Amino acid sequence: MSAPARPPEGRASSHGEDAARRQEGNPVPVSLSPAAPRPLDGITVLSLEHAIAAPFCTRQLADLGARVIKIERPGTGDFARGYDERVRGLSSHFVWTNRSKESLALDLKQDGAREVVERLLPRVDVLVQNLAPGAADRLGLSFEALHARHPGLIVCDISGYGDSGPYRDKKAYDLLIQSEGGFLSVTGTPDEPSKAGASVADIAAGMYAYSNILAALLLRATTGKGSRVDVSMLESMVEWMGYPMYYAFDGAPPPPRSGASHATIYPYGPFPAGDGGIVMLGLQNEREWRVFCERVLGRAELAGDPRFDANSRRTEHRSALREIIVEVFAGMTADQVMAALDEAQIANARVNDMAGVWSHPQLAARQRWTRVGSPAGTLPALLPPGSGGAYDARMDSIPALGEHTAAILAELGYGEQDVEALRAAGAVGA
């Protein structure tokens, strides 16, 4: 599909004035009074975060109404800010994972910075961190160091391999965890493994951190006490590998790498049409196989062919079956193939590129786009999946580095001279 002339407008946003406010030197408001309460209204999250896993987790919390204060290093900030400049000069990763947050530029290694954190902690419900292994402990921000003084505080630690075991101190990034977790071994072509096109290990860890924090908040409502959440990227990734692991149970061969096709269900994957288009289709049972043969291929006899009369045999003889399907589809356009599949109620999809997703008619029809503020002006953003009619998801601005530092320090009781002293010491950003 061709690229849209401009990003989707979606529903009207209350943040269209953000860019003008920034140009006038005024801070952008972090939240607006919602029409209905959100699930995490009143919850405050302090996050020592960078890259993807922790920011993705805390953005979900912000979507539900939590106040998220993001500590960033003065001058450089979250290093994900520098991954690229694809979104009007902003990083695509940062734009995706950091809306609705307050940026506090604070160097925790400098004199005075720890006092800022100490003043924040009594106001905080959840502390999230994905710093380098051991860094939070050295800063005195472990659950064990904080629990006696802040018994209601929930501490969520996200790391590559967890806080114990021989890999505890090993650095970890998304692709490395995809590799360690076996994902690469079953992804790609027979000749070469491939990584996922999205940061699946980071996303997995971020979502398990998010769900475990919600569980810890529910537990605190019962016990009155905070608890620790320890999320390992490796364990999160391996949980997602359950099917291929059990397929290879007890020494059995693993699923083969099969490109964009399913390794063990066939036909289930991409097929070319006569006009050069690609159609993705999938069959899940024998009833669908018979209908596919009769109404799409026009070859009813194939349903009983001993090479193809069960999924395991279709998978075994996939090359022969693919030749038959491609030959039939060669006389049809992609639209005709999809129409035939729809008529037969066979699941199918287009192989969209990113432009096709931006302009997807289903997302537009369901009004899933809104706009959020940013240092580069308003940007399109997808509304969180699963949001319903009980409340509106929080969709506030992506912060500039240190945008909320002065306001947060004032809230903590720092006067102008105090702030200047912190700046002079390099503890906070200018």
pLDDT of residue 393: 94
Rounded Cα distance between 294 and 303, Å, is 8
Rounded Cα distance between 253 and 187, Å, is 15
Task: From residue 242, give the alpha-carbon distance in Å to each of 59, 91, 196, 365, 376.
Answer: 27, 33, 17, 35, 42
Rounded Cα distance between 423 and 401, Å, is 15
- Burial bucket for residue 204 (CB in 10 Å: 0-12, 13-18, 19+): buried
Where are the chain's structural domains?
Answer: 18-243+384-424, 268-350
Q: Give the fold, CATH level 3, of 268-350.
A: formyl-coa transferase, domain 3 (3.30.1540)
Q: Give the fold, CATH level 3, of 18-243+384-424.
A: Rossmann fold (3.40.50)
Q: Which two tokens stand for residue 219?
A: 């537990």
pTM (2 d.p.): 0.87
Q: Which two tokens stand for residue 103?
A: 């940026």
| Active-site annotation, residues | 202
pLDDT of residue 6: 43
Which stretches in the chain have pLDDT values below 70? 1-34, 387, 430
Please tell me the total number of residues recorded for the chain in this structure: 430
* Crossing angle of the two packed helices 200-223 and 53-63, in degrees rounded to 10: 50
Q: Hey, which residues does 369 pair with through a beta bridge?
A: 382
Residue among 372, 259, 384, 253 nearest 318 (CA): 259
- Fold: same for 18-243+384-424 and 268-350: no
Residue among 372, 367, 368 nearest 62 (CA): 372
- Burial bucket for residue 290 (CB in 10 Å: 0-12, 13-18, 19+): middle
Q: Hey, which residues does 232 pair with through a beta bridge?
A: 159
Render pLDDT for 257-268 as a digit per residue (tens, 0 to 9).
988 999 999 999
pLDDT of residue 158: 97
Q: Hey, which residues does 156 pair with through a beta bridge?
A: 128, 229
pLDDT of residue 388: 73
pLDDT of residue 36: 87
Render pLDDT for 33-70 as a digit per residue (tens, 0 to 9).
447 899 999 999 999 999 999 999 999 999 999 999 99
pLDDT of residue 19: 37
DSSP string for residues in 132-193: STTHHHHTT-SHHHHTTT-TT-EEEEEESS-SSSTTTT----HHHHHHHTTTGGGSB-SS-B
Query: Hey, which bits of 316-368 come out as E strands?
Result: 347-350
Residue among 181, 182, 161, 163 nearest 172 (CA): 161
Render pLDDT for 157-174 as a digit per residue (tens, 0 to 9).
999 999 999 999 999 999
